[in-house]
Amino acid sequence: MDITGASAIVTGGASGLGEATSRLLAEKGMKVVVADLGHQQEKGDALAKEIGGLFVAADVTDTDQVQAAVDAAVEMGPLKALVNCAGIGWASRTIGKNGEPHDLDIFRRVIEINLVGTFNCIRLAASAMNSNEGDADGCRGAIVNTASVAAYDGQIGQAAYSASKGGVVGMTLTIARDLGAAGIRVNTIAPGLIDTPIYGEGEHAEAFKAKLGESVLFPRRLGVASEFASLALELITNSYINAQDIRVDGGIRMPPK
């Protein structure tokens, strides 16, 4: 799929996986809407200015805000790509050490952002993509979701996170089938241990990351955001990849804890 001059939306685009993806798509000729929460405005504006895109404050669970991001993208060019990177994590056992039950509101919140929010962005972006003129294959756009290896080997305390990411994996084929008639491809990336700001900075953080990397099959290190971004680009541009869930994890299989 030719992406030159087309627009893209990257949710969670102001940092981590989203930032790396925003930079790469812009480098390859796309006009990128960096969509992220309002508190990321300063960072998002700086990134958007650097890559020739636009920052839009958007909570993925808010339909009006997501639609505003879609509208902004369409104004810059035909919307041909959506990369869903927005998400949150949470660690809590089903029952705690004293037998107290998992907070149900927290479970709902993780599902609402990671799963419902992902679908919210898909449905609104796909509606706009449907208006594009198809290419030789009839392709009008491509969507890339972010799951996690926790969808397959969730660890102790990851019930909410694993459920949300398992849901993203589970709906990939169905949505790809739904959108096939519109010429829109849908794929999902399931990252493993990726070096993002979540691990912090400094000597202690570096030692912790090095220790984590020892559990990876090969190469024995954490992944980097650019490795995620390169796959996202391939899933957008390669017209024959559809309905796939692809692990980017160095071959790791997570232990129970």
Q: Residue count of the chain, please give it.
A: 257
69 and 122 Cβ atoms separated by less than 8 Å: no
Look at residue 197 and tell me whether its pLDDT is greater than 80: no
User: For residue 1, is it within any domain?
Assistant: no
| 3-state secondary structure at position 59 | coil
CATH (domain of 218): 3.40.50.720
User: For residue 155, is it within any domain?
Assistant: yes
Quick: pLDDT tens for 26-47. 999 999 999 999 999 999 999 9
Q: Which member of 152, 161, 199, 240 is catalytic?
A: 161
User: For residue 242, is it within any domain?
Assistant: yes
The pLDDT confidence band at residue 196, using thresholds 50, 70 and 90, is confident
Q: How many CB atoms lie within 10 A of CB 197?
A: 11
Residue 199: active-site member: no
> What is the model's pLDDT at position 204?
85
The pLDDT confidence band at residue 187, using thresholds 50, 70 and 90, is very high
The pTM of the full predicted model, rounded to 2 decimals, is 0.96
Nearest in space to 123 (alpha carbons), one of 57, 170, 174: 174
Structurally, how many domains does the chain consist of? 1
Domain range holding 232?
7-248
